Structure 1
Amino acid sequence: MTTRMNLENKIALIGGFRSFGGSIIWPFIGFALYNVYEFPLSFISIFYLIQAIVTILASISGGIITDYLGRKKTIVISTISSSMVLLLAYLINAPLVVSSVVLIQTFFNTLYNVSSTTIVGDVYKGKTELVKAFSRQRVGINAGWAIGPLVGGFIFTDYGFRTLLLAASVLVLLPLPLIKFLPDFKGEGRLTFNLSRDFLIFLIPTFLTFTIIGQVGFGLLTYYNSVLHFTEFQVGLLFGVNGLIIVALQDLTGRLINKRIGLISVGMIIYGIGYFIVSLVTNYYIAILQMVIITAAEMIVSPLSQTIANSLAHQKSRGKQMGLYSMVTGMGRIAGSSLVSELMIYYLYAPQILWGMISSLGLISSIMYYFFLKKERGLIASL
């Protein structure tokens, strides 16, 4: 028990360092392409669509690599490679080069996400253990997210996006000394997938879920900056609020929800409400309230989604299946940024329409989860 608890903490710590290095830059990339490098919103939409294609390729190949090389080696490769490409973007700093390098880094980020999610599923079994383990992992990840956007917003505002690229290339290396303490697992090196029908059906509402989750980044930053004139640092503070709440309350939330898988539907309704409130924000205090609401949804939805996905996966091909899950979640996040950038062309200054469309995804996803869990009641009860 002690060993497993220590492993939870190590995974959380690695996730925290990794997310700190990533989160100082990722919420600002789409905005930087739009505001610093002066690409039009139509280009931003295309950029996110290309990023979706990269995510598909990275998730599929990442699952195979994770099973073939092992979880630990994959994490090391993705970490070092991410640092190198960010440094390259800093050194060249040409608009098309920066946007291209960001797409390359998406590949290595996806490798990390696949391997880190897979290793939790290797060690922990059953819905209670999985929800607790993923909740602890999210505490670490969001500790990084609580600090990263604050640091990133400060650097962006005072020193510019290029300096942010350099800082990210250094900070992303922070978890390397800790990775050696992780256990290593391998799956089958073959290209076969042992996918159940239940797993594939579950991925449909999952895509919609992460489409709305993906608004924490380009969507909120661009809207708040362009319409309400919040600075990058102020929006970074909002993202920091998100991270701090999760650090403080995710473990407790995990204990409360670990036997209530059906709460994922309730969480998606809360998401829908939270994003519609964006259209009603008139000052910074209401923006903080809006962030609190979507953070509550995130603390419910994310660990339950990871738990269901891992419980439906087969041990020998877990890396590949988590690669597919990562592909769908990554595509959802990117589709969310692409969708909102396209909608902003027409509805940036019609917030009820803009955020009404985004919030409807929460309701649709909630309904789909409800019927999936109702139909698969016996399966879910055994998780």
Structure 2
Amino acid sequence: MKTLFNNYLNTFKGLSKEVWWLALITFVNRAGTMVIPFLTLYLKDDLKFSVENVSWIMAAFGLGSVAGAWIGGKLTDKIGYYKVMVRSLLSTGILFIALQFLNTFASLCIGIFLVMLVADTFRPAMFVAMSVYSKPENKTRSVTLIRLAINLGFSAGPAVGGLIITTLGYSGLFWVDGITCILATILLIKVLNPRVAQPIDNIIIENPISIYKDKPFWIFFVAMVLFGIIFLQYFSTMPLYYKEIHGLSVLQIGILLGLNGFFIFLLEMPLIKWLEQTKHSKIGLTLGGLILTTLSFYLLNLTSWIGILAIGMLFVTVGEMIGFPFSNAFAMDRAKKGKSGEYLSMYVMAFAIANVFGHSGGLRLVGSIGYKNTWYIMGGLGLLGIVLLLYLKRVLRSKNELT
């Protein structure tokens, strides 16, 4: 047991202290955005908006995320990742505090759009910073550590958020969210100031290629949108499927979804370190992750046995653990051909776009054609993504760019 524990700890070795600080800042930031899981409840129960109005406000949420990711990449290339991160975190904190004072439909659509626009400028800048402070051979594991921080933040946030709502109400939630973002800004200034923290991998591109001329990247981009859309079903339509078709209680659904975060925390870093030592390319591993995620939907239609739910969750979890870190690492490698902020903002935008269409699209399909047919359609989208990645792999091999 001691040897196993030591081997687990060894998978974290070699990462720079700046990446560890960045992971902590990301954890504080993600845990701090605890208002997000309760946003629909706040709008419906506290402000008494109709379901239709809530859906429009959430659409503004998704559009703000897409716009923020795009603007974040542009600003990162123009003024640098550090200034974007500091200004995004500080402004997000102020906007979260101000959001509680909006109570009309129009003001909330605009307010939530602005909050997400400002908040998500942070993400491309954060990925560029992580690339700068990581050794080339450690970048995939650096991504994995950041993902671990994000997962832990999302796990801790709702639990703390529920406690705050119970004791202080929704107003307290907005105050804590805002103050947490401001505290993350102070931490960032203290530990990641470029005059103090020395970059490890200075990305110098003398003749950058425009991302709009990089056709292989756009094949990758579409595949990632499809990957994101089907993956997100596990956090929107799938809980309803567990309850309505298999009769699971809220507690049982929570445990099943919790397995995802638990396995990621326990296994992702060792798995990534092991896969890095194999001869598989980043696109090949991303493809493997998408295949497993796609199979998880077809498995659900094979049998009504309740155990298939756990097997499906295992498939999608392993698919996520493999697919997302290596796809992110591919985007960071590709960014060295052009403007890094531009490339990494498009990677973030792929999942922001998936957020806009994935949740509502899945729910609408379930309402019109049922769960079984919806799973077949999601599997079909996954197959389309697999074909695109196979084609991309072939294109990159012909250009001798497959790494």
TM-score normalised by structure 2 residue count: 0.78
TM-aligned CA deviation for residue 298 of structure 1? 1.1
Superposed, which structure 2 residues align to 1:121-140 within 5 Å? Answer: 121-124=131-134, 126=136, 128-140=137-149
Deviations 1:241-282 (A, max 9, x none): 433322222211211222422122221122123345667998
Equivalent residue in structure 1 for 2:323, among 301, 305, 308:
301
The whole-number CA distance in structure 2 between the counterparts of 1:213 and 1:103 is: 24
Q: Which moved more, 1:216-225 or 1:172-181?
A: 216-225
- 1:371 maps to 2:391: yes
Map 1:218-367 to 2 at 5 A. 218-220=236-238, 228=247, 230-231=249-250, 239-258=257-276, 259=278, 260=280, 261=282, 262-275=284-297, 290-314=312-336, 317-347=339-369, 350-367=370-387
Which residue, 16, 25, 41 being the options, matches 1:14?
Answer: 25
Secondary structure of the residue aligned to 2:335 is: coil
Does structure 1 conserve the Cα–Cα contact (< 8 Å) formed by 2:88 and 2:119? yes
CA distance in 2, matches of 1:122, 1:47: 36
CA displacement, residues 64-123 of structure 1 (integer Å, 9 cap, x when unaligned): 211222212211211122222222222334555444432222112221111111112234
Q: 2:92: which partner in 1?
A: 82
SS at match of 1:91: coil
Please give the secondary structure, in 1, of the residue aligned with 2:260.
Answer: helix
Q: Quick one: which amino acid aligns to residue 272 of structure 2?
A: G
The structure 1 segments of at least 4 consecutive aligned residues displaced by more than 6 Å after TM superposition are: 156-160, 185-188, 278-286
| Runs of 5+ consecutive residues of structure 1 not aligned to the other structure | none
Match for residue 211 of structure 1 among 211, 221, 229: 229
Q: Distance in 2 between matches of 1:67 and 1:86?
A: 26
Higher RCO (Cα < 8 Å, 6 or more apart): 1
Match of 1:146 in 2: 155
Q: Distance in 2 between matches of 1:234 and 1:117?
A: 35
Q: What is residue 169 of structure 1 aligned with on the other side?
A: 178
Query: % of aligned pairs identical?
Result: 21
Query: The residue matched to 1:120 in structure 2 has which SS?
Result: helix
Residue aligned with 2:368, SS:
helix
Alpha-carbon separation, structure 2, partners of 1:352 and 1:16: 37
Counterpart CA distance in 1 for 2:240 and 2:168 is 19
Q: Residue 317 and residue 343 in structure 1: after superposition, are their counterparts in 2 closer, same or farther (change >3 A)? A: same
Q: Matched residues in 2 for 1:121 and 1:34: separation?
A: 41
Cα distance change on mapping 1:193 and 1:136 into 2, 3 Å: same
Question: Counterparts of 1:284 and 1:273 in 2: how far apart (Å)?
Answer: 17
Give the RMSD, CA atoms, in angstroms.
3.7
Match of 2:78 among 57, 68, 79: 68
- Whether the 8 Å contact between 1:82 and 1:109 is mirrored in structure 2 is yes
- CA distance 1:300–1:206, shift in 2 (3 Å): same
Mapping for residues 16-31 of structure 1, pairs under 5 Å: 16-22=27-33, 24-30=34-40
368-377 vs 337-346, which deviates more? 337-346
Contact 1:212 1:361 (C-alpha < 8 Å) held by counterparts: yes
Higher Rg of the two aligned structures = 2
When structure 1 is superposed on structure 2, of 31-40 and 101-110 the one drifting more is: 31-40
State how far apart, in whole Å, the 1-side matches of 2:179 and 2:305 are.
Answer: 35
